[in-house]
Structure 1
Amino acid sequence: MKIAINHKSPIPLHIQAEELLRKMIKLPEFQDGKLLPNEIDLANQLAISRTTLRQALNKLVYEGLLIRKKGVGTKVADTQISSKSANWLSFSQEMQARGIPIKNFELHVSWIYPTEIIANFFNIKTDQKILKLERLRGKPEGPFVYFASYFHPRTGLTGDEDFKRPLYDILETDYNIIAELSKEEISAIAADKFIASKLETEPGSPILFRKRYVYDQAERPIEYNLGYYKADSFIYAVESRRG
């Protein structure tokens, strides 16, 4: 791969450097812990300042794609998955956008009576059954997240859908329900025996616990989602822009 940027392009140099880095980290020569060229050499090769290069590097470090260690260098982060809250998608769409192959290890559909908390969220009674979707998902080499999703009866889901398809695609394409708004709560918890067995870890291991409340275009609740992520396999990144 030719490592160069176009100084005559109207695209800012740090953006070009960022895109170049995104291509570089996919190359075999930078896998398995091998270091990227040091900042001075790479900046000289690209004929840009170290400040410009560092701006691009910082973006990829922030996204969890690179790891930088003082006195050692910069390498590709290959053990953790990154999720960003801006422009949220279904899990399948998130991972597809990042080029990460995902395997479904378990998929269970059932009709259950909601707890009081879930019933209150949906503004229904606890004696009205709702659809529950459980999925254990991860990379081909092992699971790293367990999801439990509960759906408002209004969605029309029957349980016979092909849930290997992206969830929000099913809702929009098959039921004309557009997931417009997501509100989330994120916390750290210790894995209980159930979650530990699902994620193939030890009870008491750190887990990133994410609650997601999903609403349609009229801001009516349609999904109550609980996600349990292995802390050593997942980074949750939040990007905010002032103004």
Structure 2
Amino acid sequence: MGKEDPVDVAFRIDRTSPVPLYFQLSQQLEAAIEHGKLLPGTLLGNEIELAGRLGLSRPTVRQAIQALVDKGLLVRRRGVGTQVVRSQVRRPLELSSLYEDLEAAGQRPATRVLDCSVVPAPAEVAAALGVPEGAEVHRIERLRLTHSDPIAYLRNFLPLRMLEPTAAELESTGLYRLMRASGTTLHSARQSIGARAATREEAELLTEPKGAPLLSMQRTAFDDTGRAVEYGSHLYRASRYTFELQLLIRP
């Protein structure tokens, strides 16, 4: 199926379920987008065609589509119809690299390396890595994309001589995969998550308007000896990215 062809994905609508029909359709459409069955650019056809194929009313289909338009997953184009724009990236809160998580989700990750150099460690980085302020560390800045759409601006700092990645290596795979290949055993991490408005430079990199909400994440990773081996300060597009975690209830 080409992107220009109307979508041909099977949907199951249960009319005996208490779940509203529009919600059933919107959830199945969202799942198809997230799992790569509906790629960016895919046409859904117009509401009348979709309603007729599924045996639903046009208002029901319109409500389902509007829910995904509001989420930024679909767009209505005059003369074209309803089209898939992008999928939401959902990432579990665990010690893994964004590149590997995107790969596992079938999201076609790509990387643009913005900087790969040795710099004096700022105070925040020095404290995280346990080195003197001003000591030399590796600084790596990357823009992570999926389906050619930027989703994250990543800044990582590594102790000197632990790993010396090239731009070509960083563009072809994830940083944690390179670290493991060099003999580092990643064991645990300390992580904090927040949010803030995008600066002009960040907004341009992430194709968002200035002041758009961004998710922020700071992480210090440790090896199996307890040594800090990486400090990351990352920004994610809130319109494209969510963190997921599992909560356990204590008895």
Amino-acid identity (%): 17
Q: Normalising to structure 2: TM-score of the pair? A: 0.66
Q: Does 1:39 find its partner at 2:14?
A: yes
1:201 alignment partner in structure 2 = 208
Unpaired stretches in structure 2, ≥5 consecutive residues: 1-6, 20-25, 36-59, 74-85
Could you say what secondary structure the match of 1:124 adopts?
Answer: coil
Could you say what secondary structure the match of 2:124 adopts?
Answer: helix
2:90 alignment partner in structure 1 = 82
Cα displacement string for residues 76-112 of structure 1 (whole angstroms, at most 9, x for unaligned residues):
86531111114x3111110111111112233420111
1:64-79 to 2 correspondences below 5 Å: 65=34, 72=63, 78-79=86-87
1:192 alignment partner in structure 2 = 199
Could you say what secondary structure the match of 1:180 adopts?
Answer: strand
Deviation at 1:240, TM superposition (A): 2.1
Amino acid at match of 2:110: K
Match of 2:126 among 119, 128, 134: 119
Q: Does 1:29 find its partner at 2:8?
A: yes
Mapped to 2, the partners of 1:166 and 1:147 lie a distance apart of: 11
1:173 alignment partner in structure 2 = 181
Q: Does 1:100 find its partner at 2:79?
A: no
Over 3 Å counting, the alpha-carbon distance change for 1:73 and 1:143 in structure 2 is closer
Amino acid at match of 2:240: S
1:144 alignment partner in structure 2 = 151
Match of 2:246 among 200, 224, 239: 239
2:38 alignment partner in structure 1 = none
Deviation at 1:167, TM superposition (A): 1.6
> Once superposed, what is the RMSD of the aligned Cα atoms?
3.4
Cα displacement string for residues 57-82 of structure 1 (whole angstroms, at most 9, x for unaligned residues):
99xx89x959xxxx755998653111
Mapped to 1, the partners of 2:196 and 2:215 lie a distance apart of: 6
1:229 alignment partner in structure 2 = 236
Asked if 2 retains the 8 angstrom alpha-carbon contact of 1:110 and 1:159, the reply is no
Could you say what secondary structure the match of 1:29 adopts?
Answer: coil
Deviation at 1:183, TM superposition (A): 2.1
Amino acid at match of 2:177: D
Cα displacement string for residues 174-199 of structure 1 (whole angstroms, at most 9, x for unaligned residues):
2x111111221111100012211211
Unpaired stretches in structure 1, ≥5 consecutive residues: 1-27, 44-48, 51-56
Mapped to 1, the partners of 2:214 and 2:9 lie a distance apart of: 30
Asked if 2 retains the 8 angstrom alpha-carbon contact of 1:145 and 1:199, the reply is yes
Mapped to 2, the partners of 1:177 and 1:233 lie a distance apart of: 31
Q: Normalising to structure 1: TM-score of the pair? A: 0.68
Cα displacement string for residues 195-236 of structure 1 (whole angstroms, at most 9, x for unaligned residues):
112112221111111111111112221111011111111111
How many pairs does the alignment contain? 194
